[in-house]
Amino acid sequence: MAAKVGIFAAILLVCAILLPLLASSFPNHRPEFLEYDSSKTDVTIHGDNNNVVHANVNDIAIPSSNYETRNERSLKEKKKSNKNKNKKNKKEMKSHEHGFEAFNFEHPLIGGGHHGYSHVFPGYNVDPIAEEHKQPEILGGLREGFYQNTCPQAEQIIKNGLIRALQNDSTIAAAIPRLFLHDCLVKGCDGSIFLDTTPSGGKVEKLSPSNGVTVKGFELIDEIKAELEENCPGIVSCSDVLAYLSRDAFVASGLPYYEVSGGRRDSMESRVENVVGNLPLPDDTVDQMIHLFNRKGLNAEDLVVLIGAHSIGVAHCFNFLYRLDTPEKAQMVDPRLGGVMKFTCASEMSTIAFDATTQYKMDSVFYKQLLMKKGLLESDQVLAQDIRTRGLVQRFSNDEVGWFNKFGVAMNKLGAVEVLTGNQGQIRKQCRAVNL
């Protein structure tokens, strides 16, 4: 027993001697801690011997609870940054979309030199990232980018043709869309208005009194179609040529660029009797026009939107001079406009611009003139008086951008009326004649 007590005492003596020696061999040390203030980007680190070090909060590890706070703040800042970037991009796109020039060669709008399509058709170059994720719109069996694989240069060839034509005739920009309307409302957008003859041998649509000398642009269609046949034989239909060309004519006149669907095929018949009752007349009432558009799958808003195409182009005197013959109709004509009608209309084939202020530019001035009883055609003017359509005329007169946005949509609806697709009809080699 005495031996055990001696051993225990010896152990205690050794510990008493060694522990102080071990402690003196290490400097004073205490765990590091952070003074963290979420409102500051720098933090203070207290370490050995009260040394103080300043560091950036992003360069050090933060305890888990503070890391979660930092992570949440980082996500919020990232969202805010992305939101600001999106706002900036949208603002820049809007500025680019509506602030572009029209044609840069010597055109009645502005003059100048021709500098290529990036200036002629602004907004034509699409961001490849946006294009990659963009799904083509399908409308009435048609789709955007229809010729991307079979004839990728088709739309370029069509635009080139329009540019050449406008250099010689500035009025072609208004004539082409009118041709498109007169084709689509009669048995659908099938190119039947181009045919000079058909296998049946009867009179064709272009000989109708509603067409005749008041429609033009056939030679331009022939020229473009011939070039397409050289590059892509039997691929691009005449009806699609007209659809793309109409869009390009509006863009050349100041309308923002809009996509057009393709895939139409050409009809093998054209009959003059089909025109009757399928085209609006200069003395039509609002009831008659809405009824006609409804039969074609279009509504009253489409009617008012598309009538804005009269922002460019001219009207022949025989289509409106009769309005001055009766007091009731004459009251719907601004007296100054009536004086211009009488002075200018030396013959029934004389013409007056729908919008003499900006004759070659698509803008909302036309709607403003309707509200002042300065519409040439009675069928245009009544839209500013009828309760069903007056509000739309007023809206578009004050909201040009809103009208622009609706115009491309309405044109695509028009372009999908009773179309032939798939194996229907044919792809004509020449637009004036059926393939035999």
Q: Please give the radius of gyration of the chain, using alpha carbons only, rounded to the nearest integer.
A: 37
Annotated binding residue 97: no
Active site residues: 182
Compute the distance between CA of residue 358 and CA of residue 362 in angstroms, rounded to an integer.
Answer: 8
Annotated binding residue 280: yes
DSSP 325: S
Query: Could you tell me which of 350, 284, 353 has the C-alpha nearest to residue 317?
Result: 350
Annotated binding residue 136: no
For residue 328, give the amino acid letter. E
Compute the distance between CA of residue 208 and CA of residue 183 in angstroms, rounded to an integer.
Answer: 12
Annotated binding residue 186: yes
The full DSSP string for 412-436 is: HHHHTTT-B-TTSSB--SBTTB---
Q: Show the beta-strand stretches assigned E in 153-229.
A: none
Q: Which residues have C-beta within 8 Å of that of residue 320, sequence separation ≥ 6?
A: 282, 341, 376, 377, 378
Annotated binding residue 327: no
Q: Do 196 and 204 contact (CB within 8 A), yes or no?
A: yes
Structure tokens given for 212: 């005749």
Q: Which helix (H) or strand (E) holds 122?
A: none
Query: Could you tell me which of 251, 261, 243 has the C-alpha nearest to residue 177?
Result: 243
Compute the distance between CA of residue 429 and CA of residue 26 in angstroms, rounded to an integer.
Answer: 98
Query: Could you tell me which of 168, 153, 161 has the C-alpha nearest to residue 223?
Result: 161
Annotated binding residue 190: yes
Compute the distance between CA of residue 133 and CA of residue 136 in angstroms, rounded to an integer.
Answer: 10
Annotated binding residue 266: no
Compute the distance between CA of residue 301 and CA of residue 141 in angstroms, rounded to an integer.
Answer: 23
The full DSSP string for 59-98 is: GS---HHHHHHHHHHHHHHHHHHHHHHHHHHHHHHHHHHH
Annotated binding residue 188: yes
Query: Could you tell me which of 67, 144, 419, 107 has the C-alpha nearest to residue 267?
Result: 419
Annotated binding residue 287: no
Residues contributing to the annotated binding site for heme b: 310
Residues contributing to the annotated binding site for Ca(2+): 183, 186, 188, 190, 192, 205, 355, 358, 363
Residues contributing to the annotated binding site: 183, 186, 188, 190, 192, 205, 280, 310, 355, 358, 363
